[in-house]
Amino acid sequence: MIIHPDIAALRSDTALQRRISDRMGRGKEQWQRSHVARVLARDLTEFGGGCALSQCPGLAAIMTAADSAVELTEMWIASALDAVRQEPLGEVPYQYRYSPGLANMQIMQSGRASLNLIVYERQTECKVRFPQSVLFADCECHEIILSGSALATRHQMDETSQDAASIITTRFNLNAGDCLSFTGRSQARQIVKVESVMAILRLTRLPQQAKPSREYRLPDGALLKSTSGDKTASQRLMGLAVLGALECCDPVIGETFRYSALNRDEAQDVRWEAVRHMLARDSRDGMALLVQIAADKGDQLCEPAEQLRGQLSLAHPELRQLCAGAE
């Protein structure tokens, strides 16, 4: 591994680390103290508390007028660049995520509301021209295109569907200044192809009790995956995944999986994850757990547990005896 001399020096110089951290922090504080940021923070708090976007004039202005949106974004970027110019090795103190072709940085967050800058980059190696699936998330979303253009798809789902959804998909072009709004779990949009680079200002608000997000296959509307909309449930699911990866024989871990799987107050995704780890940990205990859940007709996991038990017994005949012994 090749490490730049400046990086190596920074790793061993705690005084330099503190200086850089302090400078980046001051840059964020200067932005937050500005009049524009204070007005935005006030409106975002109101919006996050449940007010309609139209009741938050400052926030509504930047989400409906391209000039206002661009001006705000440029001011925010300039405040961060000032600090970076002084400390090139500093890390901008905002939450961010990056994957090839997509960058997401949070400008501001309050309660259930968040304002983010999203940047899409052209991907020359993309082999799939149009999406084969779509994710519907329980979230209110407002977007305004700051720059660039792209080919996109809009999806409208019939919420009365369960396993097989009826989805209407339309294609359209996005250009600078365009505004989009999506509410609930029945609407979604996807970026298919970006000409060069496209920047989007996105305002989102989560409901107080988010319903599970669902991913459907577009050709036939089949349900591919359901993910809990509860952040704490996702954290518990990750905790179970960590326990499973430990491959430890401690009986306490097995009891944790069993308790989570049988707890009806737990999110279904977490319960099903516990079942999966129980099966991977010990086939006998896992099949016994499936039998117990499948036998309880009042359990929402009764039917999928029965289906999985049948599939496993058919694919692995040796498991049939374990099922018989557990009944």
155 plus 34 within the same structural domain: yes
31 plus 101 within the same structural domain: yes
pLDDT the model gives residue 285: 85
85 or 209, which is more confident?
85
Q: What is the pTM of this model?
A: 0.77
Task: Decide if pLDDT at 323 tops 70.
Answer: no
Arithmetic mean of pLDDT, 57-79: 93
Token pair listed for 88: 């090139």
150 plus 253 within the same structural domain: no
Q: What percent of the chain has pLDDT over 70?
A: 94
107 plus 171 within the same structural domain: yes
Residues 6+ apart with CB under 8 A from 289: 258, 261, 262, 275, 278, 279
Mean pLDDT, all residues of the chain? 87
CATH number of the domain where residue 178 is located? 2.60.120.10
> Which of 227, 260, 280 finishes a domain?
227
> Which of 227, 248, 278 finishes a domain?
227
212 plus 244 within the same structural domain: no
- Of 16-30, 139-153, 164-178, 243-257, which range is least confident? 243-257
115 plus 162 within the same structural domain: yes
pLDDT tens sequence across 277-321: 888 888 888 888 888 888 888 888 888 888 888 888 887 777 666
pLDDT the model gives residue 251: 83
Do 301 and 272 contact (CB within 8 A), yes or no?
yes
pLDDT tens sequence across 95-110: 999 988 899 999 999 9
201 plus 253 within the same structural domain: no
117 plus 212 within the same structural domain: yes
pLDDT tens sequence across 38-63: 999 999 999 999 999 999 999 999 99
The confidence band for 11, taking pLDDT boundaries of 50, 70 and 90, is: confident
249 plus 190 within the same structural domain: no
232 C-beta neighbours (distance < 10 Å), count: 10
pLDDT the model gives residue 241: 85
> Which of 204, 227, 250 finishes a domain?
227
- Of 187-201, 207-221, 222-236, 284-298, which range is least confident? 222-236
Task: Decide if pLDDT at 161 tops 70.
Answer: no
The confidence band for 203, taking pLDDT boundaries of 50, 70 and 90, is: very high
Rounded to whole angstroms, how far apart are CA atoms 121 and 123?
6
Number of domains in the chain: 2
Task: Out of 78-87, 151-160, 302-311, give the one with best mean pLDDT.
Answer: 78-87
124 plus 252 within the same structural domain: no
- Residue 302 structural domain: 231-326
pLDDT tens sequence across 175-195: 999 999 988 788 999 999 898
217 plus 244 within the same structural domain: no
Arithmetic mean of pLDDT, 146-167: 82
Token pair listed for 243: 């326990």
Rounded to whole angstroms, how far apart are CA atoms 177 and 158?
29
Residues 6+ apart with CB under 8 A from 325: 284, 288
pLDDT the model gives residue 227: 75
112 plus 81 within the same structural domain: yes
